Amino acid sequence: MGRTDKPKGKITAYAFFVQTCREEHKSKYPTDNVVFAEFSKKCAQRWKTMTPQEKSRFQEMAEKDTERYKSEMANYDGPEKNKTKKRKRVKDPDAPKRALSAFFIFCNDERPKIKLTDPGLTVGDIAKELGLRWSRVLPEAKQKYEKMAEKEKERYMREITLYRSGKKVKADEDNDEE
């Protein structure tokens, strides 16, 4: 039986380079506190200007570390290695549609108007505009949508109860009542 401690991940050539820079900096300035963001930027600039010959030392270190990682993973029996994908729950196509909130009913009314006035808007821009318009709706007008949402919720509760009891739900049932 192999190990159960997950092996430390592979280290890249650049990570070895940053480690070396940090060690050099610590030996030159042992009392200096390092601001990581600035230090990281300097390392990145230095790495970009290095020749392939200068980088080869770090790439060799990375290759050796990759070998270490592969051999450790070969002996590893932990949960990470044997992970199985979770199955996505399949929605029953016969299940009733969820109830829309007041905001979504409002969006269904307003979206075509926005598309008419500005057809070049992206989906995200339309969503932002709908949010803005909803926040500006007067409470009296919001009540209209909240009443519609309440009816939607009642419809959904009726249909889901029937669905769970095993009876078939008629899609036109609510349309006949109005």
pLDDT in tens, 40-55: 898 999 999 999 999 9
What does the alpha-carbon distance between residue 16 and residue 39 come to, in Å, rounded to a whole number? 15
Q: Are 49 and 99 in contact (CB under 8 A)?
A: no
pTM value is 0.47
Residues of the chain with CATH 1.10.30.10: 13-74
Most trustworthy range by pLDDT among 22-31, 72-81, 118-127, 168-177: 118-127
Q: Which of 32, 167, 25 minimizes the C-alpha distance to 95?
A: 167
How far separated are the first and last CA of the chain, in Å rounded? 69
CATH superfamily of 13-74: High mobility group box domain (1.10.30.10)
We find that the CATH architecture of domain 102-177 is Orthogonal Bundle (1.10)
| Average pLDDT for 24-49 | 88
